[in-house]
Every structure is written in C-alpha cells, then in structure tokens.
Structure 1
C-alpha cells in the first residue's frame, strides 16, 4: 500500500493540475559560495537522496550561491529533467552596479529567465516566482511579462514570493479578468516562529487558488534546537546571506528569546515522540491544509534524511495544542474583532450556519 505521506504521493499545486511532492528540496544550500553551503559532492548526495525516494519538486533562484545553485541543479538533473518540477525565481540583482539587473520589471524578468535557462541546462522552467516585491513595478507589467513567457513555452507556471497579501490578490484578480496566466503558488516564510502569515497571506492563498510553499520551516535553524541563550549575544546579526548561519538566523529575526522558548517546546514534543525537533517542526507546517510543500534547506545528507522523516510524524491533539499555544500570534484587527462573541452575536443572532464544504 502506498504511504499517503510519502514523497511520491503527490499534491496538486494551487489551482493547477501540476503534481508535486509534499516536501520540496531547497537548493539554496547547493554551492559553498556563501561560506556555509554544501560542496558539489555533498549537494549531489542530497539531490539523489531526495529524487531516489520519489521527490520531484526542487526550489532554487537566480541569486542563490551567485548562480552556482542553478548550475549544480542543471548538472544533477541530467536525464531526469523531464520528471522533475524545477522552480526558480527572478528579482534579485546579479550585478549590483546595473540599475536594471534586479527588480520586478520586464527587463529584469526576461533576462533573468534567459540566464536561468542556461544555468539549468533546460529550455523551460516549470515554475517561475517573482522573488520579492520591489514596490516600484506596475502589476500589469509583471503579469503581462509572465504571461508572455508562459505563452512562449519558456515558463510553464508562475508564482509569487514575499509580497503583501493585498497586492497578490489584486494581481490574481487582474490575471483572471484578462485571461493571463494565473499565479498558482505563494512562497512565504512559515514556521512555528513565523505565524503572522496566518493573518492574511495564507487565507488569501486559499481563497485565490495559490498553493502555499513555506520557506524556513525550521525558523532559520532555531527550531532544530541547536542554539541556546548564549547565542543571543550576536544581536541582530548581519543582513547578508554570505554571513554565518547564526548571523542569518539573527538577521531574519528567528534567533530571539521567543524563538528559543518555542524551540524548547518543540524539543519536548520531539523527545516524547521519539523524533527529532526538525521533524516535529516540519510536520507541524504540513497540518495546515493550505500548505502544499515546505522547502527543506539541508546542507548535509544526514540533514535531508532526517528532514524527510517528517512525513512519518503523527502529532497528537495535545502535542499540536502545546506547539500552537507556545507560538501563537494575535491575528489583529479585523480578525480578532470579528471573532468576539459580542460582534458575532449582533451579526448572526441565534442563526447557526454549517461550515462550508470544501
């Protein structure tokens, strides 16, 4: 019998018919250019461990390890290319002195895609993300350029990452009204440490037909339990991907007193479950029905093998409640306001309404 939680039990990505594994392999760690990634041999072992178990969904970006990530991924894919779903991103600048090298605009998008195709050794990209909102490019320019790439066959599906919910929903509505390629994936930070996306981004994705792809489900490594309060002396860290992993965790806002307190609860649940903290943290993200596939950013074969074990984790109701209590965030206005009994009372009175069927 097929394991319903195995890498080769695929999920549909958003409103599309594209089938992807329930865990995505993150290739940001492919290459040692930033000082903390995997070298070529270790990256190959990570890739093989994932693909040999039926994994097909691999995530990278033009900027990751200064292009080495895409080059290694293209090399490793080889004759397996057709069975893989390769996702990459554009936006981040590859030439800091060139004003049009980065950003969301058409020139940046088209030139980035051409360069990614060359590095990936392929003639099409399965999923292209806008990597981060630049706040300067008209949404119509982004959407039409994406649609042109889809119509040309160089890109099959499009998605968006690290962008405000109101902007994404606006873009999806425009794409639908004009018959342009819709957004099918939303990549966002989501973990027990970062749950503020539950306010608007995740509900928006469910309503608008985007599959949620969480990055950093381990909270920049804090949820693995490897950091202690002695590590807090690093302050805010260096906002530079080429710094140490600890610097990056601090710069991302994960290495804090609150983050360490949440990690302690994760460690306790892991100990009583006979699992690792990493497996517990990843398994928790999979409980959200909006989530399609968390991204695993392993740097060693041992780490990817451990992370894949998250598919076998079964959290009890009590364990889930403890994790969610420790990591809870206020949903803020208007969500908290609308949930108050007095407000629900004046809106619904005594009327009882069954939950909407999916």
Structure 2
C-alpha cells in the first residue's frame, strides 16, 4: 500500500515543517539540449498537469539541459511561485575550462546559486542540494556556505545528493553542533534495480532526519518494460547526450539482472491491471524512509500514467516476489548483526522493541 492517494496529500520533508507532494516532478527532461528531452510546449503541459493535480514539489539542477530546465521553470512558475517548492542543485561544471565553475566549494556554490536565481526568475530557492560529492572540499566549508545562503534568505532549506553515508552523517552532526542549517533531504538513486542504498544511506537518513528523495525510481525506464534483451548489445558511451537509451546504457541500468526484475514487475502489473511504471513507483513509496520519488516524465501522458502509482495496492505475495527478484546482499556488518548467533550473545532470550 502506498500510503498516499493524491498529490495534495502532503508529507513533511525530513526534520523540517516543509510540506511536499508524495511524488516530485523532475525537470531534467525540460528542454531538447541533450537530444532526448521535451520541447517547451510539452514541458509546459507536463508542468501544468502536475500542478493542477495538486503537486507542489519541483526538482531541477543548475545544468539540467544546459540550464534550459531552470529557464523554463522560471517562466512556468511566474504566476504561482510562492505555492511551489522549488529544488535545485549546484556542483555541475558550468564552464568547461574554469576549474571553479563546478565542484562543491564555496565559490562554485555562490556563483551557481546566483545563476539559478536569475534563471528561475525568483529571489529565493526553497531547497538547495549539493548535487554530487567531489571528494575534495572540506565539509565545514560546504556547511558554512549553505548556512550563509540560508541566513541571507537566498535559500530556505538545504540537502545533499549522491554522497557517501559517512560523509552525510558527519555533516549533519557538525551542523547540529555548530547551530548551522541542517540537511533535510537526501537524493539517491533508488529503485527495484538499485537497492544498495538500503544498506546504509536510507537507514542513516531516517535516523538523522533527512527525507529520502529517490531519483530514477523507474531504473532509467527499464522497469517500464520499454527495453528488451536485444538492447543489451547497445554500445555504452560516457555522455549524457544522445538518445535516452544511450544514457541508460552509460548509467549501467540496462543489464540482464535489470531485465529479469522488469519481467517480474510486468507480471505483477498484469495481475493488478496497472502499468509496470505504476508498480515500480508504488514499490518505492512503500519504504517508510522515502518522502517523494522523482518522476521525470517526458510527456503529459507519461506523467498521468506515473501518477496512477498513488492508487496501487499490493498483495503481500506480490511484494515478496518483487523483493525476492531484486534482493541484494547487505554485507558486513548488517548480515553479521542479523544472525541468530550474534543476537543470542547480545541479548539472549530477551525481547527488545525499538519504537521510533
């Protein structure tokens, strides 16, 4: 059971009082700059459909479709900016030969935010994410920069995306101890195809008050059933441009294992009389740590289909089949801690419940 029935059944985002829809609208498809998005008219239809259904949580980034995504959103949100939660990200290289035009450092952060404010045609960003961990910038530099943006009123909340769990937990602890703005959201890749975040990232987020925002909950479209084993021979390329299939292959989402999982998704969808995309999205919504998966629809019709995930209810046996097909090894220390022998030496026959 998804626990939500409409886009205007709002959820609190992490440890904040910010209210967001249970499905976020991803705007990475807004623009044709990369060769596989949607033109302005279709992007407008997608946006309007989402908002008319009660959706309020929009996700973009500084360089999505080379900045076209933010520019379009600046136009689309002109009449209802205050009622929407606009999230964008900084980190991506904005000028190829300028080493400080990308990365996590303060100079990149401040310049990227100013550029996003101009493109989004707004004087504040509701939620700013660090987009990708660069492994070079000190965490206190990042946190202090984010806090300064919040204190200046240019950003209301901060989050993080695509970073190691130990670094995120370290940052949250520092923010708490120093009275800086805490991280309230964590973006991670999460789907039936990619469940390794269940080892540490998702439990960490629940413990420390970050709402989990899954990206690619459809596994790059593989879970919709659009690809077959004939596509496994498609050449990979290290680029976000080209066709959508090029991107999916380059991201490593199109594999034999992924197609096996997609087959089970299709079987469950047929039993329920819904689409595979709705099954895949509804499964992510079952996780109590997940706040709002990001749906990156390229057409209004795709968006309408995706929104049907809010109405999907599973039988217990169907959930078991999906989770068995997509199961991962949790590894050390999780599997060791779950062993009966380990539990016996820690607590014997005692029964202990943890209530959150």
Q: TM-score, normalization: structure 2?
A: 0.99
Q: How does 1:213-292 map to 2 (within 5 A)?
A: 213-235=213-235, 237-292=236-291
**RMSD (Å) for aligned C-alpha atoms:** 0.8
**2 CA distance for matches of 1:4 and 1:338?**
33
Q: Does 1:128 align with 2:102?
A: no
Corresponding residue number in structure 1 for 2:14: 14
**2 CA distance for matches of 1:43 and 1:56?**
16
**2 CA distance for matches of 1:265 and 1:166?**
34
Q: Does 1:38 align with 2:42?
A: no
Corresponding residue number in structure 2 for 1:303: 302
Q: Does 1:212 align with 2:212?
A: yes
**1 CA distance for matches of 2:58 and 2:38?**
16
**1 CA distance for matches of 2:109 and 2:332?**
36
Corresponding residue number in structure 1 for 2:329: 330
Q: Secondary structure at the match of 1:156?
A: strand
Corresponding residue number in structure 1 for 2:347: 348
Structure with the bigger RCO (C-alpha within 8 Å, sep 6+) is: 2
Cα distance per residue 1:90-111 (max 9 Å; x no partner): 0001101101000000000000
Corresponding residue number in structure 1 for 2:64: 64
**1 CA distance for matches of 2:135 and 2:206?**
24
**2 CA distance for matches of 1:194 and 1:248?**
16
**1 CA distance for matches of 2:130 and 2:166?**
16
Q: Secondary structure at the match of 2:212?
A: strand
Contact 2:24 2:57 (C-alpha < 8 Å) held by counterparts: yes
Q: Secondary structure at the match of 1:68?
A: helix
Count of aligned residue pairs for this structure pair: 354
Q: Secondary structure at the match of 1:72?
A: helix
Corresponding residue number in structure 2 for 1:318: 317
**1 CA distance for matches of 2:214 and 2:81?**
24
Shift of 1:7: 0.2
Contact 2:4 2:22 (C-alpha < 8 Å) held by counterparts: no
**1 CA distance for matches of 2:214 and 2:103?**
22
Q: Secondary structure at the match of 1:221?
A: helix
Q: How does 1:40-189 map to 2 (within 5 A)?
A: 40-189=40-189
**1 CA distance for matches of 2:238 and 2:304?**
29
Q: TM-score, normalization: structure 1?
A: 0.98
Shift of 1:302: 0.8
Q: Secondary structure at the match of 1:34?
A: coil
Contact 2:128 2:155 (C-alpha < 8 Å) held by counterparts: yes
Shift of 1:117: 0.2
Check 1:4–1:230 CA distance in 2 against 1; reply closer, same or farther (3 A cut): closer
Contact 2:59 2:86 (C-alpha < 8 Å) held by counterparts: yes
**2 CA distance for matches of 1:352 and 1:8?**
40
**1 CA distance for matches of 2:355 and 2:53?**
34
Corresponding residue number in structure 1 for 2:355: 357
Q: Secondary structure at the match of 2:252?
A: coil
Contact 2:62 2:90 (C-alpha < 8 Å) held by counterparts: yes
Q: Does 1:339 align with 2:338?
A: yes
Shift of 1:357: 2.0
| Structure 1 consecutive aligned stretches of length 4 or more whose deviation exceeds 3 Å | none
Q: Secondary structure at the match of 1:79?
A: coil
**2 CA distance for matches of 1:340 and 1:243?**
47
Cα distance per residue 1:207-233 (max 9 Å; x no partner): 000000000000011000010000000
Cα distance per residue 1:16-47 (max 9 Å; x no partner): 00000000000000000000100000000000
Shift of 1:4: 4.3
Corresponding residue number in structure 2 for 1:294: 293
**2 CA distance for matches of 1:118 and 1:207?**
36
